[in-house]
Structure 1
Amino acid sequence: MIVKWRKSSHTGGANDNQCVELGRLDPGAGIGVRDSKDPDGGHLVLSGAQFASVIKQIKQDSAR
């Protein structure tokens, strides 16, 4: 499967490599997360529930 990786719209732009990228993996396989500075260095795989939990925690931390 070819994964289409994308950066957050909250980064500094298309040339900003100081962020993570997300990729939708095969159906049921989860969400891929990788370092934009090292795209060939592998990626972390999170289930949909794990990814939702990470996003929830980030939002809670940023509200403080």
Structure 2
Amino acid sequence: MRGLGREPGTWRVSSHSGGKSESQCVEVAWHERNRIGVRDSAHRVGAMLAFPRWEWAALVRLAHSG
């Protein structure tokens, strides 16, 4: 995924999600109080998970390391 940018509430879909359908992806965005929001792209009005930036960074590092 390319950078999230700094604009709160701008949701991004991973460039690695593949396919034309966004219904099988997650979206991420900067959220209030320096947190990262994660939601299901098929249920955008549903629940959202919020992680502190350091937890999100740790998850991304782990995913990149395989």
Classify the TM-score, shorter chain: 0.7 to 0.9
Matched with 1:34 is: 39
Q: Could you list the runs of 5+ residues in structure 2 that have no partner in the other structure? A: 1-7
Residue aligned with 2:34, SS: coil
C-alpha distance in 2 between matches for 1:16 and 1:5: 12
Percent sequence identity is 34
Matched with 2:5 is: none
Q: 1:53 aligns with which of 44, 53, 58?
A: 58
Matched with 1:24 is: 30
Greater helix fraction, Structure 1 or Structure 2: 2
Normalised to the residue count of structure 2, the TM-score between the two structures is 0.74
Q: 1:8 aligns with which of 14, 29, 54?
A: 14
Which aligned runs of 4 or more in structure 1 are off by greater than 6 angstroms? none
C-alpha distance in 1 between matches for 2:9 and 2:36: 10
> Aligned letter for 1:3?
G
C-alpha distance in 1 between matches for 2:20 and 2:54: 28
Aligned-residue RMSD, C-alpha? 1.8
C-alpha distance in 1 between matches for 2:14 and 2:24: 11
Instruction: Specify the structure having the higher radius of gyration (Cα).
Output: 1
